[in-house]
Structure 1
Amino acid sequence: MNAPASQQPLIASPEHGEWLRSQAVDLLHFAQGCIVPGRGAGWVTNDGGLDLSRGVHTWITCRMAHSYSIGTLLGVPGAREIATDAISALLGPLHDDTHGGWYASIPAVPDSPEGFDNTKAAYAHAFVVLAGTSGVRAGIEGADRLLELALEVLETRFFDAESGLHVDEWNADWSDLSDYRGVNANMHAVEALLAAGDVTGDAKYHERALGIARIVALEWAAKHSWRIPEHFDSDWTPLLEFNADRKDDQFKPYGATVGHGIEWARLLLHLDATFGTGTHPWLVDSARELYARAVTDGWRLSSHRVSGFVYTTDWSGEPVVETRMHWVAAEALASAAALFTATGDTIYAEDYERWLEHVQQYFMDSELGSWHHELDSANQPAAEVWPGKPDIYHALGALLVPLVPLSPSLASDLSRSPL
């Protein structure tokens, strides 16, 4: 898919831009049945149906609220109604009206004993903030109230001013805080805080996101050859062997997570654009390093003689879990596009085409729609870690990031300059 040297890179061509937009619309059409009436967004199956046995998760409902708010800004018919239903559920059954905050999940069928998890996780609460910001930009009913509530909880329950980071998980009534600390929740908090600062106009959120990024990039990643320690104890001491007995965990896998190195690279570039290009030179420098390390470690030829991004590596860069996740490939696309936008370096445009060819060949499901969420090491659809196609958040971002300027918020970009 590489263009001849005399031609503009594929990523910069108007025709490719039109294709990206059409693919984004197709994704939104695929998952349009995601709402469990009155409950939130359910777990989407391979054919676009719902697996009600998995309950209704706050993080999925938030991602769908965000995605269909973006769909509203793209002018996709029916998107506003889906975003409204998702935000209504976040203000309704998914919200803990007694203690505040949001449950991790609720049953898809009211009064069912299956699927209820009343823990309060920073990961999910960061997505509530993101859903609120995107909903506000799209003019979705209830989004202003949702954002107000979510920012208050993130501030009072999860942000630790002493460390400058977010703690991870509380019990239902906020009386017991887990000793575990994690980077994944803080990564998505950076995404949410970037959007919150943009939507509210309060610069403290951008400063907070910058502080988190500085710790992760300069204090942790740089000291580990640009592999990011993911797991910590309550004193923020790295737990490099955490989950050694459960290496392919959905949210807390063992070792270095390749996709997170790539995703952090992109977030640093959004921060650079937010504060003014070059104001903090370490942001672009660190983005290059994180991306390079993740690609060097993660893009591998398997024993089946096919290439793909492995899920995790050990601390020397050797693969641990070779399963290929769609979100990693999606972030590779988005980050290569962001690096090309930020630096103009054609190597990132070439990478973009390489990742796109991989996604088109293996991840895009031309028969049923959306993207396969997981492939095995032979690049065949698998379901060991991620059965079904639970949501469209990562894939949608990968398709739209190349079309807009680097900024704090994708939704804000689209609200100002619809595609």
Structure 2
Amino acid sequence: MTEVADICSNLIRIDTTNPGSGERKAAEYVAGLLDEVGIEPTVVESAPQRTSVLARISGDGTDPDALLIHGHLDVVPADPSEWRLHPFSGEVEDGCVHGRGAVDMKGTLSMTLTAVREWARRGVRPRRDIVLAFVADEEATGEYGAGYVVEKHRDWFADCTEAISESGGFSWHQGDTRIYPVAVGERGTAWMRLTAKGVAGHGSKPAADNPVVELSRALVRIADHAWPVRLTPAVAQLIEGLSRALGTTIDIDRLDEEIERLPQAATLFKGVLRNSANPTMLEAGYKVNVIPGAAHAHVDGRFLPGFRDEFLETIDRLLGPKVTREFVSLDDAVSSPAEGLFDSLTAALRAEDPTGHPVPYVMSGGTDAKSFAKIGIRGYGFAPLMLPRDLNYFGMFHGVDERVPVDGLEFGVRVLERLLVDGPAAPAAS
């Protein structure tokens, strides 16, 4: 087994389910891997067992600004009864490392660790200082991870101008064309707890004011709402890049039809054409014959860059006068320019896959990039993977039978070497 696959497998075997017992064991493993090759780790805890690892690698001075490479140690829950192989086995089978976190995102952590360990063994220095942050709690609000290190250990990031992390740089196919979406932004997050209050009473009596009904009506209005298309500059760039890569014209005035015509390529933009709000949790009552005095629900809201106010105004209108909201988490949308570091990212991909087509990309969900954006660090989604056509990359996130190809991880290590050490040539025209 290659080093990158071995590290990925070992990380998966450490159960860091969030919520769960915390990330400390995984953090200790990562710190040990760094210390073993002379990279000094700093281990910090925001709460018992909520552990992150920070480190710095000195560059050769080619670029005076430091680059942050960050990733999260935690994973979402997994029910072993639903999986073909145990989700925390880290088993290597059919050329893939299997288990929870293989894609999201212990595979990416293993690529970074393999690359920096190889540099240390060879005495190689990257072109710029590298700050590593392996953090807790991304799968929740980030309060115990990125949020904590940004607030309490901000000096680590003082000279970091840019960052790379998850959810970009992977290969995606439309027919015979291999596309590499590199994330330049992500939608904002508005996780909300809704509350409807009414008059408690006996379930057999006519209800004076039933909060369950009021809340249900509001949730149906939210679920049924047709959010309008809002074509942001970054998504327009993505569609232009896809048009060039595919040798066609994607008509921005008929996007619903284009989604039908190019279903695989459209996967990259159809989730970021609009704001969205999905009811996800319900809580009401304690006995079948009692009308409760209150009912609660949670809604996962996402809004495009520049459309936060429109999103919240729409939500308030749909809730109506009897339902209130409070934020579980509210983070603004983030965006970075599709130039500068973006050009270096795409050049590194082309150097390893000359027939690939990198394009700018906007994530429908969110990452820890939002926390680092608050201190002025521009973030890019760049976890390079060359994947087989039949592997549903998006289905691996939080899905059953999550796995990552070993040769894809090895590809990612080579791309990181091209990016950070070799200094790729200027990007070719696409």
* TM-score normalised by length of structure 2: 0.28
- Give the TM-score normalised by structure 1: 0.28
Give the strand-richer structure, 1 or 2. 2
